[in-house]
Amino acid sequence: MSFLFAWTLLCLLVCCDIGECRRRNVLLIIADDGGFETDVYNNTVVQTPHLRALSERSVIFENAFTSVSSCSPSRSTILTGLPQHQNGMYGLHQGVHHFNSFDGVQSLPLLLKQANIRTGIIGKKHVGPCPVYPFDFAYTEETNSVLQVGRNITKIKLLVRKFFQSQKEESSEMEEERPFFLYVAFHDPHRCGHSQPQYGMFCEKFGNGETSLTFFPDITPTILDWFSLPYPSYSLSGARPVVLTGQSLLPALISEPSWVTVYASQSLHEVTMFYPMRSIHQGRYRLLHNMHYRMPFPIDQDFYVSPTFQDLLNRTQSGQPTGWFKTLKEYYYRERWELFDIQSDPTERWNLAGDPAYTPVLKSLGDQLLKWQWQTDDPWVCEPDAVLETKLEPQCRPLYNGL
C-alpha cells in the first residue's frame, strides 16, 4: 500500500539531437496521486488528449517505481537522487511533522543554481529546508495556499507563463539566455473522492490501467547528465562519500537499459506513522523487510477516509464477508519478510519467504538489500534485532530480543 502514487513526466526540451544542442532546458511535471488516470497508460475511461499527443513523441516507462510511497520523502528523492533515509526527509515536511533533509545534502536545484542554470518551482513543494532546495523563481503552497486546493490548472498555467516571461526579460538584460530547469508540481488529483465524495467510487473503480508508470532517484542523475554536470564528492555522516542510488535515464532514449535492480525505503509518513520498511526488486522477485512487524501497520487520515478502507472497516466490524484476499488483521500485522514472484503473482498474494524452495532467492536478495543499506548510511540498518553503533567503526550490536 502507498500514500503517494505520483507519476512524473520528464520533458527534455531540445531543438536538436542529443549531443548537438548549445543550450538545454528541462521541464519536470509531477501530479499528486496521479496513478493510471490517463489513456497513455491504457485507462479506457479517462481521456487525456494532450498527454496522449506528448506521449506519441516521448519515451514511455511501463516498468517504473517510486522509491518511497509518502509525499515529502518521495519528492526529496526526486530532487536529491538519494533515498529518504540518506537525505534525511524521513516523513512529511509540513506542520507538526516538520521533517527536513540534512543541511549538507547537495540537491538538484542547488547544484543547478551553482552551475548558473535558472531554476523555477511552481505548485506543491513540500520539502525543506529552503537552503537545501533553493529556487530562483518560486510560487508554491508555502506562500500561496490556492496552489494546493482543488483544481489549480489555470493558476499554474499563468505562473508558468510568468516564469517564461521573466526568463525572456532576464535574457534581454544579460544579452544571453541561461538554460532553465522548471519543476511544475500539481496538487491534483490528490484525495480524489475526499473533497468531492461523489467521485470517490468512480476514482477507485476506474483508476487503473494495464501497465505501470521510472525510479524516482533516477531523475536527479538524468538531469545532471543532461546538463553535463558531475555529481560532487562529499560526505553527510562521516568518511563514506555520498553515492547516487539512481542512474541517468538518457541511455534509455536510445536503447533498453540493462540494469534490473530497484531499491525502496519507507520510514514514516505522518510523525505518528512509524513503520520502517526496506525492499529490493530484482527481475521477477520483490523482497520486503518489515522491520517493526510486531507492531500494527499505522493508518493515516487520508487512507482512513478512503471509500475502500471504510468499506473494509465496516464489513469487518459487522462480520460481513469482505471480498478481499487479506483480512483487516492481516493488513495490520505483517510478516517480517515478504517475498513475491511478481511474474506469476503480480498482485502479491502469496508470500514465498517461508517456502524452503525459495531460500536461496531470499538470502541473495536479503544480502543485496543489507549491502545497499550500509552503502546509503541507513540508520535502521541493524533493526529490529540489533542497534547501530557509529562512534568508532559502524557496527550492529545485538539486542538479544528474540527477533
Q: Where are the alpha helices (DSSP H) in 281-395?
A: 301-304, 307-318, 328-332, 359-375
Whether CATH 3.30.1120.10 fits 261-398:
yes
Task: Tell me which of 47-51, 209-213, 257-261 is least confident.
Answer: 209-213
pLDDT at position 17 is 55
Residue 71 a catalytic site member: yes
Helix (H, G, I), strand (E, B) or coil at 326: coil
Q: Is 175 left (phi over 0), alpha (psi -120 to 50) or beta?
A: left
Q: What is the pLDDT of residue 251?
A: 86
Q: What is the mean pLDDT of the chain?
A: 84
User: Which cell goes with 30?
Assistant: 509531477
Domain boundaries, the chain: 7-253, 261-398
DSSP 78-133: HHHSS-HHHHS--S--STTT-----TT---HHHHHHHTT-EEEEEE------TTTS
Using DSSP's 3-state secondary structure scheme, residue 13 falls into strand
Residue count of the chain, please give it. 403
Tens of pLDDT, residue by residue over 257-270, are 777 899 999 999 88
pLDDT beyond 50 at 213 = no
Cβ-contact 73, 90 below 8 angstroms = yes
Q: Which of 71, 192, 203, 382 is catalytic?
A: 71
Highest-pLDDT range among 19-33, 134-148, 297-311, 313-327: 313-327
Q: Say whether 366 sits in a helix, a strand or coil.
A: helix
Q: Which fold has domain 7-253?
A: Alkaline Phosphatase, subunit A (3.40.720)
**Which conformational region is residue 319 in: left (phi greater than 0), alpha (psi within -120 to 50 degrees), or beta?**
left
Please tell me the predicted confidence (pLDDT) of residue 45: 84
Mean predicted confidence (pLDDT) in 339-366 = 96
What global pTM score does this model have?
Answer: 0.87
